[in-house]
Amino acid sequence: MSILHKAETILHQVFGYEQFRQNQAEIVQQVCAQKNALVIMPTGSGKSLCYQVPALVLDGVVIVISPLIALMDDQVMQLAQLDVRVACLHSNLDYEAQQKIERQLLDQQLDLLYVAPERVLTPRLLGLLEQTPVALFAIDEAHCVSQWGHDFRPEYQQLSQLIERFPQVSRLALTATADELTRQDIVKHLQLENAQAFISSFDRPNIQYQVHAGLSNAKQNLLQFIRQYHSNDSGIVYCLSRKKVDDVAAWLSQQGLNALPYHAGLDAKIRQSNQQQFLMQDKMIMVATIAFGMGINKPDVRFVAHLNLPKSIENYYQETGRAGRDGLAATAWMSFGLQDVISIKQMLDSSVSSNQRRQVEQTKLQSMLGLAESCQCRRQTLLAYFGETLEEPCGNCDNCLQAPQTWDATLAAQQALSCVHRSGQRYGVNYLCDILRGVANERIRQAGHDKLGLFGIGRDISKVQWQSIFRQLIALAYLNVDADAFGGLSLDESCRSILRGEQKLLLRSYNATAKHPTYQTTTNGQKQFLNDLWQVLREKRRELASEQGVPAYVIFHDATLMEMAEQRPQTLAQMANLSGVGQKKLNAYGDIFLQLIQQHRQTPVDAMKTASADESIQLFKSAMSSEQIAAQRGLTLETVYAHLAQGVASGELELQKVTGLDTQSQAEIIAEFEFSAEPGRLKPVYDSFQGRYSYAVLRCVQASLGKLL
Ligand code: ADP
Ligand code: ZN
């Protein structure tokens, strides 16, 4: 059996997944051939399978080096559900437990062992590793070797000792951090000069980006957003300060939501317990400073909200990236104001000592502000920042879903810039707005600014609108903010072309309230059509999880339950076809869930189920590809094909259009189904073609035979 075939069999049987994603197959082959590799893939794209599958293919143990206990525990918990022989060694274990694991290691009874970097370098463990065959060192979160990154860990650099001691063992470095400096550091410190690098696109198509500037009541808008779109979901709300975290968490709780705070100022026990609850529960909001996040593997975080501007696009990307790791639709919502820019600058001034570094940080902040005030597709702007080009606007961000209104703001911009100039380039936005609007307050009169020619020239523009104009002028770098002088504005050289009228300026119109674009399939919408059955399945999952003391997603991921609710398998074999149902989970939970589905069939079928399939079918008819439908609706490709298969079964869609098969291939597959001993099952047919046709294609052909429904 070829290695790839063996790996695929493991993928199906143990993990219950149909296909490798993107680069996974190539990486797995490389690793199984015991060659070094460097993997850079965004969060949620499936890095861990790149060493977990080889661990089951190769002889010997795979040592996974991971920086955080929470991360290790999470993976061990998930793998244990699949009957994989796995353990982790860390300081939270007592001596006896450690000894037991060391024994298992020596007896070659482990496929994977998770360890912290400082632990793997102890003479004791090094000695043990010498006495047992090691298949691979997988170095997770490899960006921790880089001093440039935010997660620098000196122990990671010492891993070179491990490499020198075991030169024959291959290495796999994995990270979601893409920048060039970090990459060079990884290659240098982990000696990967000759390793093949696998770099994936950084796009996270299932995340919908929404940014709101200068909302008059951000908290209220956040609440409305959660109620409307994520009332049954888990999410993270990020705030800049601890105080704000406490306030917002308390306020959301008062409003009847299940919200807890998390920041470095809380007692360690409380922090731990809050984090634990967040992991375990299905429906919880964590209000946190950015101290919270790394090591959070929760796949079903459905939204990440920012109540302040992050300090760089890197931060924004990383923090929003914690949403939707399972690939289902998720939202990144942000509200910010100019005060955030000033606060961040003040923090930089007090914490960053070198001038050069401060300059770098300020440029990063400027780019973030640019993204936040942009009228273009957010995803295109975001990816461009990381050097990636997205050819078309994404169709899944606020600007794409609802083109921002713009207006010719050239004259107003000239007035704003002149106002900065005439008043001496040292006042903040509020003061400048007052001059423009002709508010003759004490301070203005004392400074004699009520005598300026442009005093009151902008009366017909509201204050919030002026604020928006100033914010955009700052985002476009025509104005600079001075944090020392409490946000005093000064002119940038580049503003001359505006002042001289050489350039027309279109700005975004100010919107007083956050309008959430109507996105057909927010997760609420998605779940609504599955309604009763989805709730029933989820409830059972919760029950099973709490019996075992594990998070719900350890039993089944949302993605799996959603497929289950949609496809309603009638037999164990059909259940096994769902993504995320491997042999072990089928044995453990298959009957329990089949029974629930069976019972549900006896209640009247909710018409909404077909409504969802119908939506996909209509989109397909409107010439969208199945990939586009999956991205727009936040569904897995498997689910979209299951919908399209229904269209094929009902005769609404042509098999050939859906699958792209030529007549000969079609005939070949049909023959295989007809000769199959179990025509209701896809796997035997899939296997007989040795993977030449995807499950999705086979499912559609099967549907055309009228055997699916
Ligand atoms: P990362 O470490 O890159 O953030 P994970 O390894 O945690 O991502 O994987 C993210 C999610 O994708 C997990 O729920 C995982 O089970 C799922 N996944 C990974 N590979 C596949 C695949 N080939 N098919 C289906 N689901 C997958
Ligand atoms: Zn877009």
How remote is the C-alpha of 566 from its chain's centroid? 24
CA within 13 Å, CB half, 180: 3
**What's the pTM value of the predicted model, to 2 decimals?**
0.77
With cut-offs at 50, 70 and 90, classify the pLDDT of residue 485.
Answer: low
**Best substitution site from 20, 22, 48 to test ligand 1's pocket, by max atoms within 8 Å of Cβ?**
48
Cβ of 229 below 6 Å from ligand 1: no
pLDDT of residue 660: 87
Instruction: Return the minimum-mean-pLDDT range out of 34-48, 616-630, 674-688.
Output: 674-688
Phi and psi torsions of 244, nearest 5°: -65, -35
- Ligand 1 atom nearest the C-alpha of 18 is 24
Give the closest ligand to the alpha carbon of residue 578.
1
CA within 13 Å, CB half, 245: 22
With cut-offs at 50, 70 and 90, classify the pLDDT of residue 517.
Answer: low
299 neighbors 273 (Cβ within 8 angstroms)? no
Give the closest ligand to the alpha carbon of residue 396.
2
Coil, strand, or helix at residue 434? helix
Residues 6+ apart with CB under 8 A from 423: 431, 432, 435, 447, 449, 452
Closest protein CA for atom 21 of ligand 1: 46
Through-space distance between the first and last CA atoms of the chain, rounded to whole angstroms: 35
pLDDT tens, position by position, 382-399? 999 888 899 999 999 999
Cβ of 560 below 6 Å from ligand 1: no
Instruction: Return the minimum-mean-pLDDT range out of 190-194, 250-254, 402-406, 514-518.
Output: 514-518
Can you read off the two tokens belonging to residue 69? 């206990």
pLDDT tens, position by position, 525-573? 444 445 678 888 989 999 999 999 899 999 999 889 988 988 889 999 9
User: Distance between CA 698 and CA 693 in Å, rounded?
Assistant: 7
Closest protein CA for atom 14 of ligand 1: 326
Cβ of 325 below 6 Å from ligand 1: yes
Cβ of 577 below 6 Å from ligand 1: no
pLDDT of residue 606: 39
Q: Which residues surround ligand 2, an ion (CB under 5 A)?
A: 377, 379, 393-394, 397, 400
Cβ of 17 below 6 Å from ligand 1: yes
Q: Residue 473 burial (CB < 10 Å; 0-12/13-18/19+)?
A: buried
Neighbouring CB atoms inside 10 A of 391's CB total 5
The highest-confidence range among 208-212, 509-513, 525-529, by mean pLDDT, is 208-212
Nearest to 470 by CA among 500, 504, 499, 510: 510
User: Distance between CA 480 and CA 474 in Å, rounded?
Assistant: 6
**Best substitution site from 41, 50, 325, 562 to test ligand 1's pocket, by max atoms within 8 Å of Cβ?**
325
Residue 397 DSSP class:
B
More confident residue, 400 or 151: 400
- Domains in the chain with CATH codes: 3-199 (3.40.50.300), 207-401 (3.40.50.300), 408-480+488-507 (1.10.10.10), 529-602 (1.10.150.80), 605-709 (1.10.10)
Q: Residue 210 burial (CB < 10 Å; 0-12/13-18/19+)?
A: buried
Cβ-count burial 531-541 (b if 16+ within 10 Å, e if not)? eebbebbbebb
**Best substitution site from 49, 76, 296 to test ligand 1's pocket, by max atoms within 8 Å of Cβ?**
49
Neighbouring CB atoms inside 10 A of 500's CB total 9
Can you read off the two tokens belonging to residue 317? 């990307």
pLDDT of residue 173: 97
More confident residue, 269 or 280: 269
171 neighbors 137 (Cβ within 8 angstroms)? yes
User: Distance between CA 106 and CA 128 in Å, rounded?
Assistant: 7
Neighbouring CB atoms inside 10 A of 456's CB total 15
Give the H/E segment covering residue 323.
Answer: none
Closest protein CA for atom 20 of ligand 1: 46
Give the closest ligand to the alpha carbon of residue 377.
2
Instruction: Return the minimum-mean-pLDDT range out of 310-314, 609-613, 693-697.
Output: 609-613
Please give the average per-residue pLDDT across 240-257, as a whole number. Answer: 96
Residues 6+ apart with CB under 8 A from 153: 67, 117, 144, 145
Neighbouring CB atoms inside 10 A of 353's CB total 8
Cβ of 468 below 6 Å from ligand 1: no
Angle between helices 608-621 and 558-567 (to 10 degrees): 100
Question: Is the confidence at residue 326, as pLDDT, over 70?
Answer: yes
506 neighbors 409 (Cβ within 8 angstroms)? yes
Please give the average per-residue pLDDT across 30-49, as a whole number. Answer: 94
pLDDT of residue 330: 95
pLDDT of residue 701: 86
Query: For 192-215, what is the HEC assignment?
Result: CCCCEEEECCCCCCCEEEEEEECC
Closest protein CA for atom 13 of ligand 1: 326
Ramachandran assignment for 628, one of left (phi > 0), alpha (psi -120 to 50 degrees), beta (any other) = alpha
- Ligand 1 atom nearest the C-alpha of 20 is 23
Please name the amino acid found at residue 536.
V
Cβ of 35 below 6 Å from ligand 1: no
Can you read off the two tokens belonging to residue 1? 């059996």
- Ligand 1 atom nearest the C-alpha of 15 is 16
With cut-offs at 50, 70 and 90, classify the pLDDT of residue 524.
Answer: very low
With cut-offs at 50, 70 and 90, classify the pLDDT of residue 516.
Answer: low
Phi and psi torsions of 174, nearest 5°: -130, 140
Q: In DSSP terms, which residues pair with 237 in a beta bridge? A: 287, 305
323 neighbors 284 (Cβ within 8 angstroms)? no
How remote is the C-alpha of 433 from its chain's centroid? 39
Contacts 24+ apart (CB under 8 A), 589-597: 589/544, 589/555, 589/556, 592/540, 592/544, 593/537, 593/540, 593/564, 594/569, 594/570, 596/533, 596/536, 596/537, 596/540, 597/533, 597/537, 597/564, 597/568, 597/569, 597/570
Q: What mean pLDDT is reported for the chain?
A: 89
Closest protein CA for atom 5 of ligand 1: 46
pLDDT of residue 708: 43
pLDDT of residue 706: 61
pLDDT of residue 707: 45
- Ligand 1 atom nearest the C-alpha of 299 is 14
Closest protein CA for atom 18 of ligand 1: 46
Residue 604 DSSP class:
P
pLDDT of residue 37: 97
How remote is the C-alpha of 561 from its chain's centroid? 19
Closest protein CA for atom 10 of ligand 1: 44
pLDDT of residue 682: 81
